[in-house]
Structures are given as C-alpha cells and as structure tokens.
C-alpha cells in the first residue's frame, strides 16, 4: 500500500534530492538543541504519542483532536519541495503530508479569521533547550489566511515515504516552500484562527533583528548576517560539488504565490 | 637555593623537546581537519555542510589558540616560571595560522573568490567587518614577529604594536557572538575566559609586586618583559 496517494514534484532536473541521511541529521529545531546535529542526537527525548492538536479561535468547529483524528480524513500526498533556510543553504525534500488549506477548512474558519497562528509543543521536561532561554517558548509561527489556503502549503507527517523523524518536527509540521525554513513550524500542538497578525518567535526576537512576519524567500532583501542572493545546495555531494553556489530565486522559485503579494512592497514587508 | 631553582627552570625552558612537542600538539587540529576531509576523522566526516564545517572548525581553533597564547603571561606571573614565555610567539603564530585558514575557507570555499560579494559582506555585515579587523591585527603581529622586526621597530614600539593582541582577541570574541543566531553559550564561554586572562595580568602583577616588596630578595622572578 503506497503511503502517498498522489505524488507531485515541483523541482527540476537541476534539483537533486537531498539524501534522507542529510535531511535528518542537519536540522534547526532549537527545542532539541541549537547545534545542527543536536536535534537528531536528542530526538528520542521528544515523545509524540499520544499527540493532541488544539484548534481554537475564530472558527465554527474548534476542538482538541488526536493526531489520528486530525490526519485520517485526508489523503496523503507526496510533494517534492525545495527548502530554503535563512542561513543561505537549501535542500530538496520529498515530504508526505496533507494540504494545509483542506485541513483548516474542516474547522470552518469565520470571517474574523484573518491569520492562522501555529504553536510548537512546550514541555521543558521533555525538550532540553526549553529549560534555557535561547528563545521565547513556545515557538510560534503564523500565516495570513490566504497564504495558509494556498495549495502549496502543506502539513507534513512524513518524508521519503516514512513517518516524520522527530528531529524534522514529528508528528505534524508545516511546510511553506516559498518562505524561509523557520516559518515551517515543527511539532505543532495548537492551531488558532486569529484576527490580528500573530507575534511570531523570530519576528519578535532581538527587537526585530531577524526577519519579519512574511519572510518570503527574496534574493534582494538581505538578512543582517547573510546575503540572500545565492545559496548552497546541500545534496549529499562532495565538498567540491558544493563549491558552486546557485542564485536564489524569488519565492524560492514558487512564482505561483506572487499574486498573494500583489501591491505589497516586499522590501518593507520582508 | 634561588639560583638552583632558577637554573633548573631556565634549563627546562631550553629543553630541546618542549617546542617541537607543543608545535606538534598545535598541528593536531589541522590533522583532524585533513582526516575529516577524507571521512576518517575521529569525530566523523565533515558532515552535511562540509564547507560550513571547515569554516567553523578553523575559526574555533583560531580563537582557542589565541586564548592559549594569551594564557602564557598569566601562567608566568602565577608560577614564576620562565619557560612558557618561550612558547608565546609560536602559539601566537598558530593562532594566526588557524585564522588565516578560517579566512581562506570563507573567501575561497564559502564565497568562491567572488570578490564583489566578499566586499559587500565586509562593509554590510558587522560580524564580518569585526572579524576582518581582528585578522588584520593578527596579520600585522605575525609579520612583525621575527626577531629582526623587533630590532628594526625598537622594543618599545614593537611592544606597543603587539599589545594590539588584546583588542584582536576582543574583536574575535565579538565576531563569534555576532555570528551566532540565538544561542550565545559558546561565545560567552570564550568571552569569560578572555576576560579572566586579561584581568589576571594586572591582578597577578600587583600580587607579585606585593610579594616581592614583602620579601625583598627572597623571591626573584625570571620575568623579561610582559
């Protein structure tokens, strides 16, 4: 029985899949440690069963759902996406998941629902880095309602046809391929429909020294510490094959989303 | 008694083995890096992002070597031993060596010798500006490290120039702190070690001075400048 009922790829011949080993051993998941290898080393500390997702806010059918109740009604899809990290590296990952928009519609968001707010599990007993103040826990991310409803936005439950490893944000994480990786929040326990733009973790960090709420991949807007004009593709190749950087594409190459931002100055709303 | 002790430690300072042993130890990180390049390192290969690994590894060791070099004078003041001073220049040059490796990895591997992009980084990104300033100082100190340079500059001017190692070390720690995204643990640890090493100099000097004036002639240190 194939895990994914539909499969689609958004990448071209120049985009080699990042090996499973690399996707699962080079992670930014600060709750499990700030080093790239820490999330894998500490992965077993995150217990994902049982898992409850609370859906609340401006919607007709709020509730607390088990992982099964949340995911089961949907067909699983495999989607091969580029993932662009704010640190100027990128990967190509075959995710397995459910379309975010379809999942959200089940809760019947009302007209007051202008944004969706996502929250990562907060459990300092379980998650070592939450016992220190590296970031303001819990990790919070958000999307504008129309962004969340875009067919490219995915809630991932797996990768490479296997259940999502803990270090990649098990059991349920967001994947928004046209935004920097930190927007794709991991290990989601709460989804709220809200009227005002939510205060998100990195946008609030350091008095706004990082990116803002939108954080769309944009080669013309630098991060304070990294130029975003180019990136290094991590595809399991040798150091010599990684020497060549590639140009970063607007919206990470996902031009379909451009109409969402029509009329917005993306140098201001970065 | 005093003379015997002194002669003993002076002899240790001239020990034929000391310098080669420390030299070899200081090359261990380079050997580890070379082994990792071929996937043979004790702590594995270079990982998913090998270029980043090389940049980080060489930067870490540049800073560690700098701190080790800066520990020489406090060690001498604390123990009265002369022989660590004979290692100071070599350790400082190793700090420069790893810093040069770090810069070469950034310029060559990370940025692919794209000079326009590198220059944009230097002027726009504070952590790179600060790192370059630290490197410029280390370069000046490395170039003036031979004995001939000491003679040409004159002891006082040479010493004034080489006191720039303190701001260089501060800049190196600041460079590290500005570079990390949120977890400042490592930069803070290195910063605390540096602060202790810098604070130890005046503290130990006055302690030595008190001891000397308290027991004139009984304790003689083998100091030859700081």
Structural domain boundaries enclosing B129: 2-214
String of DSSP letters for B48-79: SSHHHHHHHHHHHHHHHHHHHHHTHHHHHHHH
B127 lies in some domain: yes
Q: What angle separates helix B50-70 from helix B28-37, to the nearest 10 degrees? A: 180
CA distance B206 to A202: 48
Q: What pLDDT does residue B219 have?
A: 47
Nearest to B168 by CA among B132, B128, B134, B129: B134
The answer to whether residue B38 is domain-embedded is: yes
C-alpha–C-alpha distance, residues B19 and B16, integer Å? 7
Instruction: Give the C-alpha separation, B13 to B224, whole Å.
Output: 13
| Number of Cβ atoms within 10 Å of the Cβ of B32 | 16
Does residue A3 surpass a pLDDT of 70?
Answer: no
**Minimum-distance CB partner of A26 among B47, B127, B178:** B47
- Cα radius of gyration (chain A): 18
Determine, for residues B51 and A239 on separate chains, whether the beta-carbon distance falls below 8 Å. yes
Handedness of CA A201, A205, A208, A211 (dihedral sign): negative
What is the C-alpha R_g of chain B?
20
B221 in any annotated domain:
no
Nearest chain A CA: its distance from B109 CA (Å): 6
User: With contacts defined as CB-CB under 8 Å, which chain B residues touch A230?
Assistant: 117
Evaluate if residue A177 carries a pLDDT over 70. yes
Tens digits of per-residue pLDDT, A87-129? 999 999 999 999 999 999 999 999 999 999 999 999 999 998 8
User: Does any domain span residue B106?
Assistant: yes
Check: CB of residue B40 under 8 Å from CB of residue B62. no
DSSP percent split of chain B into helix, strand, coil, nearest 5: 75, 0, 25
Does B219 reside within a domain? no
Q: Do B47 and A25 lie within an 8 Å CB cutoff? A: yes
User: Which pLDDT score is estimated for B30?
Assistant: 96
Q: What is the band of A148 on the pLDDT scale with cuts at 50, 70, 90?
A: very high
Residues A37, B117: C-beta atoms closer than 8 Å: no
Nearest residue in A to B107, CA atom = A243
Provide the shortest C-alpha distance from residue A47 to chain B (in Å).
24
* Average pLDDT score, chain B: 88
Contact between A182 and A215 (Cβ < 8 Å): yes
CA dist B110 and A123 (Å) reads 37
Is 80 exceeded by the pLDDT of residue B16? no
Residue B226 lies in a domain: no
- Choose among A116, A100, A95, A108: nearest CA to A198: A116
- Ranges assigned E (strand) in chain A: 6-9, 52-57, 63-66, 77-84, 89-99, 115-120, 140-144, 154-159, 162-163, 173-175, 188-194, 230-233, 246-247
pLDDT at B10: 58
pLDDT of residue A225: 80
Q: Which domains does chain A have, with CATH numbers?
A: 6-261 (3.90.420.10)
> Whose CA is closest to A158, among A208, A205, A220, A93?
A93
Nearest chain B Cα distance for residue A240, angstroms: 9
Rounded CA gap, A221 and A88, in Å? 12
Q: Distance between CA atoms of B183 and A133, rounded to whole angstroms?
A: 9
| Residue A3 in tokens | 């895990």
* % of chain A beyond a pLDDT of 90: 81
Measured between CB atoms, which of A34, A37, A239 is closest to B50? A239
Q: Would you state the pLDDT for residue A241?
A: 80
Residue B226 has pLDDT above 50, yes or no: no
Asked if the model's pLDDT at residue B12 lies above 60, the reply is no
pLDDT of residue B17: 84
Q: Are A51 and A268 in contact (CB under 8 A)?
A: no
**Considering CB atoms only, which of A227, A234, A243 is closest to B112?**
A243
Residue with tokens 């090359």: B27
Interacting residues of A174 by C-beta distance below 8 A, sequence separation 6+: A100, A118, A141, A153, A154, A155, A156, A183, A184, A185, A186, A188
Between A57 and B220, where is the model more confident? A57
- Based on the structure, what is the number of domains in chain B? 1
Cα separation of B18 and B38, whole Å?
Answer: 31
Interface of B with A (CB under 8 A): 37, 46-52, 54, 109, 112, 117, 120-121, 124-127, 178-179, 181-183, 185
Answer yes or no: is pLDDT of A138 > 90: yes
Give B47's contacts in chain A (Cβ within 8 Å): 25-26, 36-37
- Nearest C-alpha neighbor of A188 from the set A35, A70, A75: A70
Residue numbers in B near A242 (CB within 8 A): 49-51
What gap in Å lies between CA A130 and CA A46, rounded to an integer? 12
**pLDDT reported for residue A44:** 95
């Amino acid at each position: 029985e194939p895990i994914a009922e539909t499969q689609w790829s958004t990448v071209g011949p120049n985009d080699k899949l990042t090996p499973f080993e690399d996707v699962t051993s080079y992670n930014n998941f600060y709750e499990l440690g700030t080093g790239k290898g820490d999330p894998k080393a500490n992965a077993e500390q995150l217990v994902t069963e049982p898992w409850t997702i609370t859906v609340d806010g401006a919607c007709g059918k709020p509730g607390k759902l088990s992982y099964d109740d949340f995911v089961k009604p949907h067909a699983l899809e495999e989607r091969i996406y580029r993932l662009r990290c704010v640190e100027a590296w990128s990967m190509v990952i075959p995710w397995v998941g459910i379309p975010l928009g379809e999942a959200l519609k089940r809760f019947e968001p009302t007209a007051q629902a202008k944004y969706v707010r996502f929250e990562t599990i907060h459990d300092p007993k379980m998650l070592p880095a939450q016992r220190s103040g590296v970031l303001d826990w819990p990790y919070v991310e958000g999307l504008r309602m129309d962004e969340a409803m875009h067919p490219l936005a995915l809630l991932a439950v797996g990768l490479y046809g296997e259940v999502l490893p803990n270090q990649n944000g098990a059991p349920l994480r967001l994947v928004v391929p046209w935004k920097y990786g930190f927007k794709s929040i991991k290990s989601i326990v709460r989804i709220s429909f809200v009227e005002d733009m939510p205060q998100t973790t990195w946008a609030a960090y350091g008095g706004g020294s990082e990116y803002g709420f939108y954080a769309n991949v944009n080669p013309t807007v630098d991060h304070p510490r990294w130029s975003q004009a180019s990136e290094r593709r991590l595809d399991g190749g040798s150091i010599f094959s990684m020497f060549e950087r590639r140009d970063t594409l607007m919206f990470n190459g996902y031009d379909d989303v451009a109409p969402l931002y029509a009329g917005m100055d993306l140098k201001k709303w970065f | 008694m005093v003379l015997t002790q002194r002669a003993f430690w002076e002899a240790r300072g001239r020990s034929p083995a000391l310098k080669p042993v420390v030299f070899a130890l200081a090359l261990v990180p380079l050997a580890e890096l070379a082994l990792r390049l071929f996937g043979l390192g004790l702590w594995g290969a270079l990982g998913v992002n090998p270029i980043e690994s090389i940049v980080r590894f060489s930067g870490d060791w540049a800073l560690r070597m700098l701190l080790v070099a800066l520990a020489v004078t406090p060690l001498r003041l604390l123990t009265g031993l002369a022989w660590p001073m004979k290692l100071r220049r070599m350790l400082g040059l190793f700090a420069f060596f790893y810093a040069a490796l770090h810069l070469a990895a950034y310029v060559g591997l990370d940025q692919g010798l794209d000079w326009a992009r590198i220059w944009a980084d230097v002027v726009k990104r504070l952590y790179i500006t600060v790192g370059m300033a630290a490197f410029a100082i280390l370069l000046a100190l490395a170039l003036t490290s031979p004995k001939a340079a000491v003679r040409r500059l004159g002891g006082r001017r040479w010493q004034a120039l080489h006191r720039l190692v303190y701001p260089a070390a501060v800049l190196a720690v600041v460079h590290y702190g500005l570079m990390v995204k949120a977890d400042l643990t490592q930069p803070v640890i290195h910063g605390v070690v540096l602060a202790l090493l810098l604070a130890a100099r005046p503290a130990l000097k006055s302690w030595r001075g008190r001891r000397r004036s308290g027991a004139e002639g009984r304790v003689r240190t083998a100091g030859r400048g700081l």
